[in-house]
Amino acid sequence: MKKTFLYLLFIPLGLFSCKDDDTTNPEPGPAATKELSGDISSDVTLDPSTEYKLTGSLLVVNGGKLRIPAGTVIKADKGFNKYILVEQGGQIFVNGTAEKPVKITSAAADPKQGDWGGLIINGKAKLSGPAGKVTTSTTEVNPAVIYGGENNTDNSGVIEYLILEYTGAKSSADIEHNGLTLNGVGSGTKIENVYIPYAADDAIEFFGGSVNVKNLLVVDSDDDMFDVTQGWTGTLDNAYGVWKAGYTSAESDPRGAELDGNLDGNTPGDVNQSDFIFKNITIVNESTFEMQDAVKVRRGAKVTISNLLVKGTTATDLIDLTDGKGNGHAGTVIEYKNDGMVVKQEVKNPDNADIKSNSAITGANTSAFGWTGYKF
């Protein structure tokens, strides 16, 4: 097992020009920077007065706890293997506040989408799978690490007031990070007040599990804003996703929400497929780039979506329950408002799910995102 490395690097004070008779001492330089990589197997608390640099993969292994106090900044070197992964039995405690959020961002002078990996949490909650079998799976970016199980109340820690920027590094088109990846994470985990700007691939993806997420702001994700697969059964409450003016995507089918019942639609006979709640959701396209679907429900997914507001420029379809690997579940319920988005077809609903428009809908409460500084 690797050990945790917290290397101490002294940052140069800079150049000072003084006259011969100048007796003034220069001001102290910035605090030292510490490097983060390796395994955390004990209880480790970072120091908010120190700037941290993520120089490799940082794994919080079984029994380890990583505590990140309010105001802490972690800057990640560029690269696919620069990420934080909380393994089964490990815990992370991001203790940001509205006044002092925790920020994990790119160390690049000119940061861009996909500079570094992202944050991955692996729990022991249920995944979709064969009847009578406890299903586990392997982490996409690190196949040696598993997630899933039988404990839907599993507790991987607490995340509050977190900014994740410039995430989504990839090694290939099929192996890529998201901003926040929740793999089989249980409902004992608390995740509230998260801001994910400029993520390559998806901003957030739920791979099974039962965790709930509240107050999520997503800006300019390269692929989907909100992605669900492999049997997630939690609730996403008060989420706002936006593509700003000038946005373009390198992906073939970027969506507001892509909602699958089983992993990649390859096991349609699974039990415990995705059956979850979205409420108080806003999806916005301010760009000239056409959104594939505002909401795609497919491959056996069953979702209840209330207070969904979609607005902006264009999308191919507003709500689409069709797919070549299986339509969305007929028990899906969606109540929405289209506030001016131009679409080729508003609703595709071949199995007569309960989908209806409501002009009184208001969408997400944007006042919850004041701490991010984003201007709506």
Q: Tokens representing 123? A: 């729990």
Query: Tokens 């815990």 — which residue?
Result: 91
Q: In whole angstroms, what is the distance from residue 284 CA to residue 294 CA?
A: 8
Q: pLDDT confidence of 172, banded at 50, 70, 90?
A: confident
Residues in the chain: 376
158 has pLDDT over 60: yes
Which residue, among 120, 66, 365, has the nearest Cα to 239 in the 3D structure? 365
Q: What 3-state class would DSSP assign to 280?
A: strand
Element (H, E) at 20: none
Q: How far apart are CA 201 and CA 118, in angstroms?
A: 11
Place of tokens 């609730």: 235
How far is the C-alpha of 366 from the C-alpha of 374, rounded, in Å?
10
* Average pLDDT for the chain: 92
Q: What is the phi-psi region of residue 350: left when phi exceeds 0, alpha when psi lies from -120 to 50, beta otherwise?
A: alpha
The percent of the chain in helix, strand and coil, each rounded to the nearest 5, is 5, 45, 55
The token pair that represents 225 in the structure block: 């804003």
Half-sphere exposure of 149 (CA within 13 A, CB side): 16
pLDDT value at position 218?
A: 99
Gap between the Cα atoms of 232 and 236, Å rounded: 11
pLDDT in tens, 326-347: 999 999 999 999 999 999 999 9
63-120 residue pLDDT tens: 999 999 999 999 999 999 999 999 999 999 999 999 999 999 999 999 999 999 999 9
If you average pLDDT over residues 182-209, what whole number do you get? 98
Cα separations (Å) of 124 from 188, 211, 223, 258, 364?
Answer: 11, 11, 27, 23, 30
| Nearest in space to 233 (alpha carbons), one of 249, 213, 253, 256 | 213
Does the pLDDT of residue 160 top 90, yes or no? yes
pLDDT digits (tens, 9 = 90+) for 203-249: 999 999 999 999 999 999 999 999 999 999 999 999 999 999 999 99
pLDDT, position 288 = 97
Domains of the chain, earliest start first: 33-372 (2.160.20)
Q: State the chain's maximal CA–CA distance in angstroms.
A: 86
Start-to-end Cα distance in the chain: 46
Q: How far is CA 99 from CA 48, 96, 371, 376, in A?
A: 13, 8, 7, 19
User: pLDDT tens for residues 4-52?
Assistant: 434 333 333 232 223 333 333 333 334 568 999 999 999 999 999 999 9
Question: Do residues 234 and 213 lie in contact, with contact meaning Cβ atoms separated by under 8 Å?
Answer: yes
**Which pLDDT band holds residue 56 (cuts at 50, 70, 90)?**
very high
pLDDT at 137 exceeding the cut of 50:
yes
Spell out the alpha helix ranges (H) of 233-352. Answer: none
C-beta atoms surrounding 228 within 10 Å: 28
pLDDT confidence of residue 329: 98
What distance in Å separates the CA atoms of residue 42 and residue 60, rounded to the nearest whole number? Answer: 9
Q: Can you give the pTM of this predicted structure? A: 0.92
